[in-house]
Amino acid sequence: MKLTALRVVCLVLPLFFVVLLNSSSAGESVAPCVEFGKLMDAPTLKGIERYALEKSIPVGGNAADERYFNIDVDGDDISDVITLNCSSSNMPADLCGLHVELSSGKKVEFEENRFYLVRFRSKVYAVVNHFGSNVNVGKRKVYRVDGSGAKLVCSNL
């Protein structure tokens, strides 16, 4: 009888851990969205803005091109060339373009409504429709930017 109970435990215990691991990985995709929503609704300078990446206009560059320095999106510990180009026109608002040249030479491009970049939990994200007076609650989105491109991770925030 003891041997049968031991077999049941040996069969059930691994299944329990598989279910536990799968549920925690599913929760990881929801948790950042909950956190992003809270940060976007927080008062200025206490919310998502404090995670915004610093940018500057490159010397001799176009005033509409903003360059981010010392940012590594592909995780190889080498800075990538990141440029954000947004039209100054708000009526109608043109799409902004993010151009990333990875240290490997690969190029990643992304277009969306006005957005800015943030670093959150050591990852780079594009925060859309949460820009100055253009805060569209319910239409805000967050994209994860990495070496393979930009992937939508949160919407309808």
Does any domain span residue 5? no
The residue whose two tokens read 């008062």 is 43
Mean pLDDT for the chain?
A: 78
Q: What's residue 20's pLDDT?
A: 33
Residue 57 lies in a domain: yes
Task: Note whether residue 4 is domain-resident.
Answer: no
In a domain, 6, yes or no: no
> Is residue 2 domain-resident?
no
Residue 2 pLDDT level (bands cut at 50, 70, 90) = low
Q: 121 with 152: CB under 8 angstroms? A: no
As for how many domains the chain has, the answer is 1
User: Which pLDDT score is estimated for 12?
Assistant: 41
Between CA 57 and CA 61 the distance in angstroms is: 7
Give yes or no for a contact between 95 and 103, defined as CB atoms under 8 angstroms apart. no
Letter for the amino acid at 8?
Answer: V
Distance of CA 5 to the CA centre of its chain: 47
Any domain includes 114:
yes
CA-based max dimension of the chain: 82
pLDDT confidence of residue 21: 34
- pTM, 2 dp: 0.74
pLDDT tens per residue across span 54-85:
887 665 666 667 888 899 999 999 999 999 98
Kindly state the helix (H) or strand (E) to which residue 22 belongs, with its residue range: helix 2-41
Q: In which domain, by residue range, is 98 found? A: 29-154
User: What percentage of the chain has pLDDT greater than the value 70?
Assistant: 69
Q: In this predicted model, what pLDDT tens digit does every residue of 97-152 receive, in sequence order?
A: 999 999 999 999 999 988 889 999 999 999 987 766 557 777 889 999 999 999 99
pLDDT tens, residue by residue, 90-101: 666 678 899 999
Q: Is residue 86 part of a domain?
A: yes
Q: Is residue 46 part of a domain?
A: yes
Instruction: For residue range 21-55, list pLDDT tens digits in order.
Output: 333 334 445 678 999 999 988 887 788 889 999 88
* Alpha-carbon Rg for the chain in angstroms: 21
